[in-house]
Structure 1
Amino acid sequence: MIYSNRFKLLNLLLAAVLFILQAKLVAQPPHIDSDFIKIRNLTDQPQNDVNQIYKDKSGYMWIGTLDGLHRYDGYSYKTYRVNEGEHSISSNLIKSIDEDSFGNIWIGTYDKGISKFDPLTEKFTNFYNTPHNTIFNSNDVTSLIVDNNNILWSGNMLGINRIELDTAMNKIIKVDILNDHNLKRTNFVNITKVIHQDRNQNIWIGTNQYLYRIINPYVSVDKMKLASYELNIESICDGPHGIIAGTFYNVVEISNQNNQLIINDIYPLRGSSILYHENMIWVGNRKGLYTLSQKDKQWIPTNHFNENFTDNSLSCNLVTWLTNDINGQVWIGTRGGGVNIAYTQNKRFQHYKHTPTPGSLSNNLCRSIFEDHKQNLWIGTEEQGISYLPKDAHYTNGFQQINVNANLNANRAYCIEETILPHSTKHNSLVWVGTSYPTSLVVYDQETLQAKPRPDLFNDFGFVFALEATDDSTIWIGTYSSGLFRVNFNKDGDITRYIQMVPDDSNPHSISSFIIRSILKDSQGNICRYRQRNKQT
């Protein structure tokens, strides 16, 4: 009897232990191999309190801190702080950073309005309220973006400023203030935390009580259509099916289903900063960095990184910003620990080729690959011209074919280059494509994909193998049999003059070959040409 009771008690204890273990196993999230994601701290940082990190079109990383703006080129920092010069940045309290289509960097400060940095002159132009000139409803910027039409949206504690500038982005021509009165809404909460433009041009405004969506941001304020959702928003990014928002309490996904916006809870985790990267949601808050992965249509946590003083830990738990760079690394801004970088290991190549599916790559023989300043992809092929992939399209079915040669049997795209036209009223930029005779060279408007009229000069080129733009008015053209051309063009991209360079036995300083395979401008501005028979000049 005693043995029987002990046996029953042992069974009950064993069952209880198994139940606890099973519950623990069920509650534990799947774990990604610790070697998959590595964290390292960026060394020799000039300031450790980071508000925002921004990657510009040239690949520079801009770090906005509580004590200045810092540009990192992969090797060293250049710091911009307030000084007594005429073209200094307006404040050291950097809150937001973005870039316009001309490459100007716009900086929102927390106490002195907005600064514009011109990368060509390395000078700042400042816009802020003074006792004699009121421009905005506040000098304290909490969030700032430049939208796809080069309109600035600046948020603060009193509402939103929508700022229109002249075509050169030098002078403010109009400021609209979005607040309760102008939007004719009684629940427009003014404490703006984040502003975001999604891939469909909608403007999203996250505040401490509501998320707003403006579906027609380019009409007058009184005609704007504004939808609101009761959420305490802290961060927003584009996701696979809509936008992903981090709130004070959880992470949510907002998608358009049957012309209705649906809000789905993803995970009960505070999302102070958020990023969708490599099919994972990266979430930063006061407890460190988390990654969420999808399994069976459910998002589950797969990693948690914090400050634990190991080789693979964060330098600080308070994560303020997340972004990714051109190498696919995730940059993590912290309050007190500077910048950390997370990079994934064991990456696999993905292979995309021509298939019967409409929108696949047009040809498997690829001659050239180019990404324009809007992050659209141009792939030059041997037989089917250009395969053009818009920024948000998918590699499997998003390509558009562009024929580049009048003779379809010579529809080759040997080389591709882009020239930015900051002062043009006709084009933001032009994309130049070198091809075979008889077309030789074709120039496209980057936005409309329409070809410019072909000048007679192009008849002299024959086969164009190389292109290199050196500024917004000069492009170098390497040909198969006609040597090297330096071509100048005006603000609208129309050719004004050119110089042809060919071998001259009587001149020891002439170019050495008629056949130019590639052209490269070095860091000193020198032009290097690679000619036939592997000789460089």
Structure 2
Amino acid sequence: MSTIDALYLDKQDVLWIGSTSDGIGRLSLRDGDFLYLSEMYPHASGLGSNTIRDIYEDQSGLIWFATKFAGLHLYDRRQDQFEHYMKAEGSFPGLNSGFVMSMCQDINGVIWIGTKDGGINRWDRETGSFKPYHYLRMMDGQKMSHRIHYLLPYKGKGFFVGTDNEIEWYEPYTGKVELLKNKVVVYVMMLDSSQRLWVGTSKGIFLFDADTRREISLQSPLSMEVLNREMVVQCLLEDYLHRVWIGTRSNGLWLFDVPNDSLHRYFSSKNDSCSLGGDMIRSIYEDTRGNVWIGMKATGLNRFDEARNCFVRISAQNALMGKTIYNIMEDRRGHLWMGTHDDIVQYDPQMDLAESYNLDYGLQGKVYEGGAYLKTADGAMLLGGQNGFNLFYPEKVQRVHYVAPMVLVKFKVFDEVRLRDVTQHQTVRLDRHDNYVSFEFALLDYIAPLQNQYAYQLEGIDNDWIYCGNRNYVSYTNIPPGTYRFKV
């Protein structure tokens, strides 16, 4: 039977328990939940030893574990906020394919996940189990598994499925598959208020009656333009005025006013600050206030100003400029959450402030797929990509705002160390022949030390700050006599 060797109560009223053979347990004194660390992160590489000698929390909130035989380990509590689900590994449950491309929730609350090479997975959140539906179709005499680009549930009977080659109807519990259209790459699906299915593809828009699943035509003189077969359509939205917004790969943004039977086209223009920020549209979203938001490739986020018929380019102190916005969701506070090509971004429209969350927070990866997003009935958000998906409750997510101290690790003259571990201003007098000096410095932030970015300046030599990335040393040669100040 294991005995307890270490106890530590952290700043969030969590009691950490280190044992001689069972590793680390975590008891929340606020809600009484108890978990072993291995249960919280089943896919992690582990501590290397289940014998825990000591536990400590530093100023930044990191929890350190001293083990027998396996050295020192740290735990970053930020990763608690973004649950990470990935491909099954060993005895731990998971997806049958790690590359998530689409997801949806049916009327029974079950979450369905479309993958790149594993068909569709059914996820039961209560039990934590994943069940694969391989979803194979015959093609040229062989069974093929398509990439599941989009899933759209309908009336609890099944899904409309968009793949890299077909538009289909699928009933998972009976195995029924009905082909609606082939030889098209599907990017997006949308049900409008008249129960028509709009499908954006590599060959424009296809329209179906959702009940009969028969292809239908658009009863409008603008039908040929709206259903343009030469246009790649990547996103669709019907707004509260029953207008359909059409986002294209390279032909800008189209607005089809269905009630008034009119069509407006919006493009970017370098000479017009009121124009669309870019012509490659990746996402469109209407918030609870009726604002329409446009996410673009490499040109960030725009908001459509209805009164001025103008697009407002959102910078949020440059936090969104240049980003590719793959999908947009809104939380209960009215904040927007976006999956980008680098991170997950939270944007507060009222304050015009953005916060980004990167791999340090336990995200599945840097890139998020256009169809791999979902807001569940209980307010959770899911975002997926090449290494599974993340689930989080947006109102509970908090950034860690900790300013770590900077220290001068070494000051050397030629190869002789003159100073060590300098944390405050200090004056050094040198002989005029001591004209070769070097500085080694460090930011005492252990959360992601390789991502620490440095800048330095030797006043009297450098005219401006020198940005050196994560390199933490610099040397100067042939320094003339004088008075200098080194800043980092």
Q: What TM-score results when the alignment is normalised by the length of structure 1? A: 0.43
Give the TM-score normalised by structure 2. Answer: 0.47
Specify which structure has the bigger relative contact order, considering alpha-carbon pairs within 8 angstroms and separated by 6 or more residues. Answer: 2
